[in-house]
Chain A
Amino acid sequence: MISLRGVRKTYASPAGPVEAVAGVSFDIKEGEFVSILGPSGCGKSTLLMMLAGLEHASAGTIEVAGEPLTGPRRDAGLVFQDATLLPWLSARDNVLFPIKMMRLEREKYVARAEELLRSVGLGDFMDKRPRELSGGMRQRVALCRSLIHEPSIMLMDEPFSALDAITRDEMALVLLDLWARHRKTGVFITHSIREAVLLSDRVLVMTRRPAVVVADVAIPFARPRDESIQDTPEFNAIVAQLRGMIEHSIKAAA
């Protein structure tokens, strides 16, 4: 379990301190998939970096399994908006990159890397370099890379935002499938309400900067899920409810 209590983050900037996150408290249970929705620039990435141990909270505490988080956690798998693959490595070697950086034994992970790539439909592309892959394929490689070292949590910062609409829908299903297989704890930042509802057990709604959590909505669909839930009235009702909350929070802050 991950617990955030009164977490704040203030950046120093030439124009004075910028308060990005203003007192956020919530818990994420083991194996839970949580999405975070919020307006642009509200502090979502900052929150994710704090969860990864890459930024220190200015105030408040973040605890992982009862222990305060003090530095980078190796058991997190990170996915960014851009795939950030190394251009000179093959898909396979990009997936194995964390193993190299963590100074683990490569040979023990090659089979797992190939298995991951096959599971996202890249079995025939393992030797291809990033420039030979489409944007969606590159992001699939990045998803595999985030799972190679068997992390206990996946932290994803708008991983599909740079993709076109069709690829994006496809990627949500790839992630749904990948998550069903691996069952990591997941934190997923997105601007897409439908994506959040499809993938998550819970959706958190944040306000404008400085961010606080204004809503914590449980998504009741059973797992394993598939794309068909998107056509149900329940799905659309939750989407509409969340959209209302977001509009309200933006108006309230303005």
Chain B
Amino acid sequence: MSDMALPATPNQPRLSLAGHWVSQILLPVAFAAVVLGLWEGLVRWYQVPEVILPPPSVIGARIVSAWPFLLQHSLPTAIEATVGFLIAAAFGIVLSVVLVYSRWAYVALYPNVVFFQLIPKIALAPLFIVWLGIGSSSRLAFSVFIAFFPVVISTLTGLNSTPPDMLRLCKALTAKSWQVFLSVRFPYALPHIFSGLKVAVTFAIIGVIVGEFITAQAGLGYLVLFASSQAETPLILAAIAMLCVVGLVLYGIVAGAERLILKRYGH
């Protein structure tokens, strides 16, 4: 599972504390700049056709020229991904709680959850179009469908991670199970839940994009498909750059919420 927002682990090389922020930000930015520079230089040197690979400067220019257009298509993608993520998160957490508290539901459902987790869910996208049409509801449903499993799996792991002695103590104190849930099990699960949510938010975006590829009405996925049908490679890459921004912003919001909450409930 993704742990990208965890603080540097001890076995990573330590950078001196004074240069910490500078190096943490400057170094990756400098590296990216070098890669972009090389890209620009090589593409120009070898005169690679723009249709194959335009240089970054051309993509940048395309972003500027197509800005209103890009923005107009980013909005539905961002909104659908956000709503899909929120529904998947709520639904996934609630289902996990049901599975943890109902032995019967657990036995009946958990193996099926694992089964769905393992199959390539992308392949089911066309079915959602068949069932729900080409409107946003089918994209939303598909996005929920693929974002939901990582939430369930990680929430279940989290809810089962309470030390057994802690549960014994609660039982000895005749705590009600809602008390144990609110005061012990759920807070213990939070770090796991957030690692699931961070995966889910990227999955939610993938779900929407795949939906847009198929339904082809609006959104960045549609734009990528449209631009490729016109062999407009700079526009494809401009749309992908927008997609990266949307993804980073959504991920950043979840990671930020994680930081805030784990400050209080972290271990």
Q: Smallest distance from the beta carbon of A53 to chain B beta carbons, Å?
A: 7
A149's nearest neighbour on chain B, judged by CB, is B173
The reply to whether the CB of B127 lies closer than 8 angstroms to some CB of chain A is no
Contact A72 B183 (CB under 8 A): no
The distance in angstroms between the C-alpha atoms of A112 and B31, with both chains bound, is 58
The reply to whether the CB of B14 lies closer than 8 angstroms to some CB of chain A is no
**Given contact pairs A86-B187, A88-B264, A54 touches B163 in the complex (Cβ within 8 A):** no
Q: Smallest distance from the beta carbon of B76 to chain A beta carbons, Å?
A: 39
- Which of B66-74, B79-87, B164-172 contacts the other chain? B164-172
A145's nearest neighbour on chain B, judged by CB, is B169
Contact B266 A74 (CB under 8 A): no
Contact B184 A74 (CB under 8 A): no
Contact B173 A102 (CB under 8 A): yes
Partner of B168, one of A49, A74, A100: A49
Contact A54 B266 (CB under 8 A): no
The distance in angstroms between the C-alpha atoms of A149 and B169, with both chains bound, is 13
Give A33-69 interface residues, CB cut-off 8 Å to B.
Answer: 49, 52-54
The reply to whether the CB of A203 lies closer than 8 angstroms to some CB of chain B is no
Contact B266 A84 (CB under 8 A): no
B263's nearest neighbour on chain A, judged by CB, is A88
The reply to whether the CB of B265 lies closer than 8 angstroms to some CB of chain A is yes
Taking CB atoms, residues of chain A closer than 8 Å to B175 are 101-102
Contact A72 B265 (CB under 8 A): no
**Given contact pairs A80-B165, A84-B163, A102 touches B174 in the complex (Cβ within 8 A):** yes
Contact B183 A78 (CB under 8 A): no
Taking CB atoms, residues of chain A closer than 8 Å to B165 are 80-82, 84
Taking CB atoms, residues of chain A closer than 8 Å to B265 are 87-88
Taking CB atoms, residues of chain A closer than 8 Å to B173 are 72, 74, 98, 101-102, 149
Per-position contact with B for A96-127: 1 when CB-CB < 8 Å, else 0? Answer: 01101111000000000000000000000000
Per-position contact with A for B172-190: 1 when CB-CB < 8 Å, else 0? Answer: 1111100110011001000
Contact B266 A87 (CB under 8 A): yes
Taking CB atoms, residues of chain A closer than 8 Å to B103 are none
The distance in angstroms between the C-alpha atoms of A101 and B174, with both chains bound, is 7
Taking CB atoms, residues of chain B closer than 8 Å to A98 are 169, 173
The reply to whether the CB of A131 lies closer than 8 angstroms to some CB of chain B is yes
Give the size range of A's interface with the partner: 20 to 34
The reply to whether the CB of A144 lies closer than 8 angstroms to some CB of chain B is no
Contact B171 A54 (CB under 8 A): yes
Per-position contact with A for B238-267: 1 when CB-CB < 8 Å, else 0? Answer: 000000000000000000000000001111
**Given contact pairs A82-B165, A100-B183, A131 touches B267 in the complex (Cβ within 8 A):** yes
The distance in angstroms between the C-alpha atoms of A87 and B163, with both chains bound, is 12
Taking CB atoms, residues of chain B closer than 8 Å to A88 are 187, 264-267
Contact B172 A76 (CB under 8 A): yes
The reply to whether the CB of A73 lies closer than 8 angstroms to some CB of chain B is yes
**Given contact pairs A87-B267, A102-B173, A82 touches B184 in the complex (Cβ within 8 A):** no
Q: Smallest distance from the beta carbon of B267 to chain A beta carbons, Å?
A: 4
Q: Smallest distance from the beta carbon of A166 to chain B beta carbons, Å?
A: 25
Partner of B169, one of A53, A73, A78, A103: A78
The 6 lowest CB-CB distance pairs between A and B, nearest first, are A101-B175, A101-B173, A80-B165, A87-B267, A84-B165, A88-B265
Known: A80-B165, A101-B175. 20 other contacts (CB 8 A): A49-B168, A52-B168, A52-B172, A54-B171, A72-B171, A72-B174, A76-B172, A78-B169, A84-B163, A84-B169, A86-B166, A86-B183, A86-B184, A87-B265, A87-B266, A88-B266, A97-B183, A101-B173, A101-B179, A131-B267
User: Interface on A for B, CB 8 Å cutoff?
Assistant: 49, 52-54, 72-74, 76, 78, 80-82, 84, 86-88, 97-98, 100-103, 131, 149
